[in-house]
Structure 1
Amino acid sequence: MDAPVIGFSKLSKKEKVNWLVDTYFNSDAAAQNLITRYWNEDAKLQELHDGFSENTITNYYLPFGLAPNFLIDDHLVTIPMAIEESSVVAAASKAAKFWLTRGGFKTSIKSTIKSGQVHIMYHGASSEMEAFYAFAKAYLLQSIESINASMKKRGGGLLDIELVNKTSALDGYYQLHATFETKDAMGANFINTTLEQLASSLREKASQFDGFSSDAPEVIMSILSNYVPQCLVNVSVSCKIDEIGTINGVSGANFARKFTRAVDIATVEPYRAVTHNKGIMNGIDAVVIATGNDFRAVEAGVHAYAARDGQYRSLTRARVENDIFTFEADFPLALGTVGGLTSLHPLSKLAMQILGNPSAQDLMKVTAVAGLAQNFAALHSLVTTGIQAGHMKMHLVNMLEQIGANDTEKAQLKKAFTDKTPSFSGLREALELMRDK
């Protein structure tokens, strides 16, 4: 077993790189050059990037692309997307083009409430815990006034707190459930600071309360929740059946029928629902990353919402009523436009400028549109030509790179596979024949 490295975080970045190359790459100069090649030549910009994380040795880049021509609530929008899969941006753009002449995307914000909890254990009578809460609530609210003041001026802040009895799920478990409005901020630091103060004040008041027959309540932890079922945006598209037209030889009526059945299948079948929703998140994550928001938090919250009734289901819905085709979804999206990377990362700032420096609610709408568009494009292919032909063609450039084709060979192979579905074996065989000649 190799000896552990002591004090790694205290090493300079160059020292960290040297240790890595010496330890894992036998001092290979190629590894060293690869790592340093991705350093930014602008020292101040590199210092900014290094500050985003810890123990950084280099930068890991993702392509930053654009999906134009989105008609959202009667306004044209170009959506920035940061993602490594080329077919995602292409699919979003295709969906934007399809709906551009069919009314576009419509959005509405249902709510923007976020929450957090102080998690508590108490093994006495529930009536004692309820009496304590009545005794302590006014003080708890008073204790966070200074923390709440700045957010309150912006129209947000702590909305309410309530004691929730969870003892039927876990013996002795209660929670102080707090709801918040954080306006354009992501709000994580504000929410967690507020919760920790509530926890501290709760402990203080518990020591003054004489009504406990058991040991005083124990605060286990206090933390925001990334489950945001009350922070919802609705997004939809709709048109008359006869406006759909013929799609890859499929009539509009048949397309709508097969499309709605595909969504129905994802609603009842978890195996399909997971892949169905993953496609939605291709679009949502790409916008969340481009704008410097927390895509892990969004992913966790969205997937929890998809299973809110006890079974994992499709996030989207489709129907045909009175010859009108409608496709829609409600997405839980807690996003911010100030604070965090949105205010620090130069490309996140650029993404915000492309979007017209939106409010948090407007960003929720755009992100939701990207998710619905992505799902529409995927189902559009699945119920007509199938997903693989278009998907593999979008990956053709990467495949040609991996088989070692030069620029001339790439051009010839692209032409040769114009009407074919490429595969690694097919491309290698064609390349070998080309070279033999």
Structure 2
Amino acid sequence: MTQTVEGFSKLSKSEKIRWIATRFTQNPEQTEAVLRQYWNSDEQLQQLHDEFIENTISNFYLPLGVAPNFLVDGKIYALPMAIEESSVVAAASKAAKFWGTRGGFHTEILGTEKVGQVHFRYGGNPKKLKAFITEIMPVMMTDIEPITRNMEARGGGITGITLREKTAELPGYYQLHCTFETKDAMGANFINSCLESLAQTLMREAEKHPTMSSDTPGESRIEVLMSILSNYVPNCRVRAEVRCPVAELSEGNGMNGRRFAERMIQAIAVAECEPYRAVTHNKGVMNGIDALVIATGNDFRAVEAGVHAFAARSGQYGSLTHASLEGDEFRFWIEIPLALGTVGGLTRLHPLVKLALEILGNPDAETLMRLTAVAGLAQNFAALRSLVTVGIQQGHMKMHLLNILNQLGATADEKTALVDYFRKHTVSHSAASEQLELLRKGK
């Protein structure tokens, strides 16, 4: 039976499901039942979801939780978090409670600059190219004005265009490096539209320019390769930090405050010099960041790519968080690039995204940057606090217990009994399976 298909996108959703089910699954009827089970009963709402992407066959759910009690810049927030991993929301909530009685989280926006580039080839004289770009700059700005008009009315637009010669890295390679302010929009569509307009003007003006269109031996005309935004935004950056007297760190840690602070600082030092540890360390940061980014309808893949590039900006991948002990004061902070939006995209379409933003007080993009950085910092603090004291598994596996019991098919009464048992015993899959079997045998 052939596994390929022509015109799949033109099939109805039911036809797509039937095609997938009969060719790629063991039990087609069960497959169809599972997929239909996750359809929304509201047909209009389901159609909205179907039109988010192509070839939709069902909805894929993530739990949406809330981490309360975040004191950020003097205001209390509850952070909506969409994530499938056990203990993330609980850990964030615990960190929020801990720092809420110690002054809370403090944030600072360090920049909001976005980046896009027109990549092109040119084999001629760099000085001639530079003079040409300077000459046509007014034309490029005039051509792009219809695209930038509305953004400029909101205080945004193009903030700079520079010619960058990259021939040392790649023969004949140049770029127009463009910077943007997009206000409350993430700005991808706006930036890409601007870049394509710049590329069109560049090609058009080069074709009719007396020096740039010449066929001088050894030279080549300008050839645009691509025009695209960059998800690396080191100048769209936010800082979040917490601080308190070292004596206040002893609560619930099982060790005195100074010893705890020293172990936290050492743990971060390991992540700063050891990439194997840094990746897992930063994954913990992203547990908090991604959960809030997804809940607010932002592009977590773009955020992840930009953040990890930032973590490697020195040439070695390292920690996103930092800590210090200055006299009797402990400081813990994160500085991170975040290109986020609170208008456009799914923010006006997805009902749960709209609700998540409402829970946050309908923030502007800068406020969302602040809260997202705080979510990452809180998550990392909670993880490190466990690692340098009781170990990560004690808290994580307690939260993971219900997932294990669901996998084992435990009933509600069995779950209640086993949750109580594991309050004083170490959780593992084998231990849960063994205790469930003993429980069913009446032992």
Aligned to 1:96: 96
CA contact (8 A) 1:393 1:422 kept: yes
Using the alignment, how far apart are the partners of 1:243 and 1:4 within structure 2?
A: 64
Distance 1:124 1:431 in 2: 75
User: Separation in 2 of the partners of 1:331 and 1:35?
Assistant: 39
- Give the residue type in structure 2 aligned to 1:357: N
Q: Confirm or deny: 8 A CA contact 1:117 1:178 kept in the other structure.
A: yes
Show the counterpart of 1:133.
133
Q: How does 1:230-245 map to 2 (within 5 A)?
A: 230-245=235-250
Query: What is the match of residue 180 of structure 1?
Result: 180
**Matched residue, 2:46:** 46
CA distance in 2, matches of 1:123, 1:270: 39
- The equivalent of 1:194 in structure 2 is 194
Does 1:329 pair with 2:329? no
Are the aligned partners of 2:186 and 2:340 in contact in 1 as well (CA < 8 Å)? yes
**Retained in 2: the 8 A contact 1:247–1:255?**
no
2: CA distance, partners of 1:434 / 1:184: 56
**Residue 427 of structure 1: aligned partner:** 432
Structure 1 residue aligned with 2:33: 33
Q: Deviations over 1:137-167 (max 9, x none)?
A: 1211121011110000000011110100111
TM-score (structure 2 length as normaliser): 0.97
Do the aligned residues in 1 keep the contact of 2:250 with 2:260 (CA within 8 Å)?
no
Q: Could you tell me how far apart the structure 2 residues matched to 1:91 and 1:332 are?
A: 23
Task: Give runs of ≥4 in structure 1 deviating > 4 Å.
Answer: none
Aligned to 1:365: 370
**Distance (whole Å) between structure 2 residues aligned to residue 65 and residue 268 of structure 1:** 34
- Deviation of 1:246 after TM superposition, in Å, equals 3.9
| Match of residue 266 from structure 1 | 271
Most deviating of 21-30 and 397-406: 21-30
SS at match of 1:224: strand
Tell me if the contact between 1:72 and 1:107 (Cα under 8 Å) persists in the aligned partners.
Answer: yes
Gaps of 5+ in 2: none
- Cα deviation per residue 1:2-41 (whole Å; 9 max; x = unaligned)? 3411110000001111111221235532221111010000
Partner of 1:84: 84
Q: Could you tell me which of 297, 301, 311 is aligned with 2:316? A: 311
Amino acid at match of 1:111: G
Cα distance, 1:27–1:329 mapped onto 2, change above 3 Å: closer
Residues 257-299 of structure 1, C-alpha deviation per residue, up to 9 Å, x if partnerless? 0001111111111111100000000000000000000000000
Q: Secondary structure at the match of 2:208?
A: coil
The answer on 1:436 being equivalent to 2:429 is no
SS at match of 2:47: helix
CA contact (8 A) 2:238 2:335 kept: yes
**Cα contact 2:191–2:229 (8 A) shared by 1:** yes
SS in 1 for 2:341: coil
Gaps in structure 1 of 5+ consecutive residues = none
Kindly indicate whether the alpha-carbon contact (under 8 Å) linking 2:242 and 2:333 is maintained by their aligned counterparts in 1: yes
Choose which of 383, 396, 404 in structure 1 pairs with 2:409.
Answer: 404
RMSD over equivalenced CA pairs, Å: 1.1
- Count of residues in Structure 1 that have an aligned counterpart in Structure 2: 437
**Which letter does structure 2 place at the counterpart of 1:388?**
Q
Alpha-carbon displacement from aligned partner over 1:291-336 (angstroms, at most 9, x marks no partner): 0000000000000000111110101110000211000011100000
* Match runs of 1:279-358 below 5 Å: 279-358=284-363
Give the superposition deviation at 1:384: 0.3
Q: Distance in 2 between matches of 1:24 and 1:134?
A: 58
Asked whether the equivalents of residues 307 and 338 of structure 2 are also in contact (C-alpha less than 8 Å), the reply is: yes
C-alpha offsets along residues 179-223 of structure 1, whole Å, 9 cap, x if unaligned? 000000111111000000000000011112233441211100000
- Pair 1:380-2:348 in alignment: no
Percentage identity across paired residues of the two chains: 58
Q: 2: distance between equivalents of 1:185 and 1:415?
A: 48
**Corresponding residue for residue 209 of structure 2:** 209
